[in-house]
Structure 1
Amino acid sequence: MGGSIGVNSRVGEGSTFFFELPAVHRDDLCDISSTSPEIQGTASRVLVVEDDPDVARLLAKILQQDGYHTDIAYSGAQAIAMVEQVAYDAITLDLRLPDRNGISIIRQLRTHSSTTHIPIVVVAGNVHEGQLALNGGFNAIDWLQKPIDQQTLLECIHRATGGSGNKPLVLHIEDDEDTRRIISLLGQEVATFHAASTKQQARQKLEQNTYDVVILDIGLPDGSGWDLLPLIKQQSRIPQIIVLSGHELTSEQASQVDQALLKAPTSVQELIAMLNTVNQGERE
């Protein structure tokens, strides 16, 4: 979130823990609301249904920064009118709106053939209440409790739309948290990252998402990263496979992947350059 956390401590006197977060000014949150059915480019389009203007603009800004086109509806009536005009790839929906309950909107959308399959991500403070009301009656619905976590929101939208806006979606399979964090920080402008620290976590991610790139470490806590290659190559769209290893690969191993890099500062920069190339290719 662009902030910091720390502690000041003196032996025998005590400790002070603190965190700092940057302020978000209203001027920084542009009004992204639109009822125009015209869509520019090929990026997925998401409708944000939220009556709180600050929350709505924050959600839209997060999605826009990840490459999505976004529109905002501040009421149930406005949301239904916009869905009738635009073929949305996904909807984020608050359950408490000024004119109607979000559950009734879900039921209405699911009763029409043109909207029955639109993925819906419920973003609400009363998620459990909504789940009980629907009782699992409809498919293609994800649930996100307020206050929102940015990464979780993006993961829900990625699942809903089968992609990640205009940015390539990268699965980084690596048990070293520092390595994952450095690469994701340096590459956040050109790609969206999902993390897996074990083979089991990687399998779950690969079953849930379609990735453009997989960064693979060989030595994982529960076995060899090589065991994941068959599953990776069974994807409906085979991703680029980049091995980031602590030792050189044999020629036979290198032939099974697209790129092989040694773990080093220069390799990280080379890796980011590769992801940028993928990003440019997606836009073209």
Structure 2
Amino acid sequence: MSEVSLTRHISSDEPRVLVVDGSRVVRQLIERVLKAELPNAVVVGCGSGADAARELDEGVFDLVTTALRLPDMDGLELARRARESSNQAYIPIVVVSGDVQERLVARTLSSHVTDYFDKALGFDALATFIRGYVRPIEQVSGTVLYVEDSRVVALATRRMMEKCGFTVSHVVSVEAAIEILDAARAENRAPGADLVLTDVNLKGELSGGDLLERIRAGYRYAKGELPVLVMTGDDNPANQAALLRAGANDLVHKPIEERLLVTKLQFQLRVARRLRGHAGA
């Protein structure tokens, strides 16, 4: 399958949007959010995956939103069909669901999905989220505290991030990362970074898991306060789930693929900023 496009915006003033959810009420709420941002949008609602698949085969859409649990299929199966079986392999597909976090922990969200939104954040937050697709906005950026002891890997990954507008502070050990975070707390500028990206296995005495424990249990930074992405080459689902239960926002699988890394970084930064804005309201 071809790479999913990084295009994140709807360019048309009259976009066609497919909204898939078994609940008519939810479909109407999402349509209301869309219409508030783009009054001329053509919103097609479907209550089942089969109906949505037919719509995808028969017409062109600029954006698809889908629940994970549909009456006749999983929303990820619908996303896969859209990528592989229709002429719309590059459209943004956004999961809008109440069990996103559960799927993240279980590692069952697929790369067919462009982005995902947790209904628990509320429909005001959904409006902000969708606005990022229907209106051109500046690329999300921020400061990344990057922990990697391989010079070759670090150079390549740092270039990926800096090319996309991120400011990268690279260190080779957890001990050095803790020094930066401690200094930020002492200087009243905590947490000291917008996001932490760390490998699991490092050459120092402390591992990426130790850093994760320090951030969540020691500093007591919540996921929205200091997101942590953990890089791992371990395909064991139990080990992956353990990292997520320990407080990782998400995992980045090695070898690192630029599109997925940048998408995950931007998503976590966007969610963190949305949560901070909600807390300060």
Q: Which has the larger radius of gyration?
A: 1
**TM-score category, normalised to shorter length:** 0.3 to 0.5
The structure in which a higher percent of residues are helix is: 2
Greater relative contact order (Cα < 8 A, sep 6+): 2
The structure in which a higher percent of residues are strand is: 1
Normalising to structure 2: TM-score of the pair?
0.41
